[in-house]
Amino acid sequence: MSCDFLAQALPGVQKLSPYVPGKPVDELARELGLDPQRIVKLASNENPLGPSPKATEAIRAELAELTRYPDGNGFELKQKIASRCGVNIDQIALGNGSNDILELVARAYLAPGLNAVFSEHAFAVYPLVTQAIGAEGRAVPAVNWGHDLDAMLKAIDEHTRIVFLANPNNPTGTWFGPRALAAFLKAVPENVLVVLDEAYIEYAEGDELPDGLSYLADHPNLMVSRTFSKAYGLASLRVGYAISSVQIADVLNRVRQPFNVNSLALVAACVAMDDADYLAKSRQVNDEGMAQFEQSFQQLGLSWIPSKGNFIAVDLGQPAAPVYQALLQEGVIVRPVAGYGMPTFLRVSIGTKEENSRFLEALAKVLARG
Ligand SMILES: *Cc1c(COP(=O)(O)O)cnc(C)c1O
């Protein structure tokens, strides 16, 4: 009789469902015998512009150093982030994507008997990292698809160690403003770590959303996480960062792997942060694509959740799974979000104008079939 290694796993891990990513282009191409060039993927909130040429140039220059370990302290990137964000270098922890940051914070602060609070329909990684540790995840019912910050405050008890906030949230695109954040931070117990996930902040800066960094000075229990995967267009490289009090950053730096960010990611992120033109262009393409989607959804008689991210959740008013499958047959990959409690929605990333049009034409065709 061989050993049951699932039964041997920690109880929280046994009940975990793996994160379901967007379907890769090559996988669909294999399945349908399609030319990958003809497939449109709007499923993972990736930047449709491709990486900044400055980033690819920096990577090319770094290739000769691949035999060496990366700088485990990420000094240059941290220095860039510090000067850009107006913080000290010892307030920063780098992550293998901001996903890594979320995992580090859970590992450092959660355990069985403790809990983390997050919203219904919030980013799937919050429940995932919480459960993997064996802690309790408290999903607080949303209002109008967004975070109910008052209800989240009420869900906090003496065993709560972390509250995860996403602003804007993925997959809903919902957001809260500066006053709501200020009131929340004022009311939250000071021993509860508030993880403010700003993965899409570059798309929404100065546009009704608070800049989480400006609350750090008054709230030593706040941690802001950001990423190079979305507006900076470097999802494949896996690099993100957390900014917090020196103490929290120190804790994260103790639990992370010694070389959790590779050298290509370090150099690319560094130059990406300086490429203001690329960032401006990314935001412009996103704003235009968002308008294109909203206009077309209206014409199709569909409702949607207003979004401040680089994606939009559209309500088909019918089970979305068959429509998702039919879109795949048309060579268009979007994201079903039934796993987020949104079975009639699809989440669609904003692509180039042409990609958006391909999706919209395929959607109209599929819906017309009834
Ligand atoms: C994409 C995303 C992340 C993490 O992305 P990384 O590639 O791991 O940096 C974190 N939070 C939210 C809300 C996201 O949508």
> Which numbered atom of ligand 1 lies nearest the CA of 169?
13
Q: How far apart are the first and last CA of the chain?
A: 52
Atom 6 of ligand 1, nearest CA residue: 97
* Cβ atoms of 366 and 326 closer than 8 Å: yes
Would you state the structure tokens that stand for residue 86, as one six-digit string? 């107006």
> What is the best residue among 230, 234, 340 to mutate for testing ligand 1's pocket, by most ligand atoms within 8 Å of CB?
230
Confidence label for 73 from pLDDT (cuts 50, 70 and 90): very high
pLDDT exceeds 90 at position 57: yes
* Tens digits of residue pLDDT in 287-319: 999 999 999 999 999 999 999 999 999 999 999
Q: Interior CA angle at 104 toward 102 and 106, to 5°?
A: 70
Would you state the structure tokens that stand for residue 277, as one six-digit string? 């033109």
Q: DSSP for 299-312? A: HTT-EEE--SSSEE
- Output the CA 367–ligand 1 centroid distance in Å: 31
Query: Helix or strand or coil: residue 18?
Result: coil
> Which numbered atom of ligand 1 lies nearest the CA of 240?
9
- Output the CA 2–ligand 1 centroid distance in Å: 39
The per-residue pLDDT for 18 is 82
pLDDT exceeds 80 at position 370: no
89, 141, 164: which is closest to 341 by C-alpha? 141
Confidence label for 70 from pLDDT (cuts 50, 70 and 90): very high
* Tens digits of residue pLDDT in 120-168: 999 999 999 999 999 999 999 999 999 999 999 999 999 999 999 999 9
C-beta 166 within 6 A of ligand 1: yes
> Which numbered atom of ligand 1 lies nearest the CA of 96?
8
* Tens digits of residue pLDDT in 168-209: 999 999 999 999 999 999 999 999 999 999 999 999 977 799
Average pLDDT, the chain: 96
Give CA–CA dist 264/226, Å, rounded: 18
Query: Helix or strand or coil: residue 355?
Result: helix
Q: Which residue has the tokens 């103790």?
A: 254
Q: Is the pTM of this model over 0.85?
A: yes
What does the pLDDT average to over 219-244? 98
169, 167, 119, 168: which is closest to 139 by C-alpha? 119
C-beta 289 within 6 A of ligand 1: no
Residue-range domains of the chain with CATH? 6-48+275-366 (3.90.1150.10), 51-274 (3.40.640.10)
- Output the CA 158–ligand 1 centroid distance in Å: 28
**Which residues, 6 or more positions from 308, have their beta carbon under 8 angstroms from its beta carbon?**
168, 173, 174, 175, 200, 203, 204, 207, 208, 209
The per-residue pLDDT for 297 is 98
The per-residue pLDDT for 1 is 65
pLDDT exceeds 70 at position 241: yes
DSSP H helical ranges for 98-245: 98-109, 125-133, 149-155, 178-187, 201-204
> Which numbered atom of ligand 1 lies nearest the CA of 44?
1
DSSP H helical ranges for the chain: 5-8, 11-14, 25-32, 53-62, 75-85, 98-109, 125-133, 149-155, 178-187, 201-204, 246-255, 263-274, 276-299, 320-329, 353-369
Give CA–CA dist 213/244, Å, rounded: 8
* Tens digits of residue pLDDT in 99-112: 999 999 999 999 99
Q: Exposed, middle or buried: residue 170 (CB in 10 Å: 0-12, 13-18, 19+)?
A: buried
The per-residue pLDDT for 362 is 97
C-beta 137 within 6 A of ligand 1: no
Q: Exposed, middle or buried: residue 208 (CB in 10 Å: 0-12, 13-18, 19+)?
A: exposed
* Tens digits of residue pLDDT in 2-30: 899 999 998 888 988 888 888 999 999 99
The per-residue pLDDT for 207 is 72
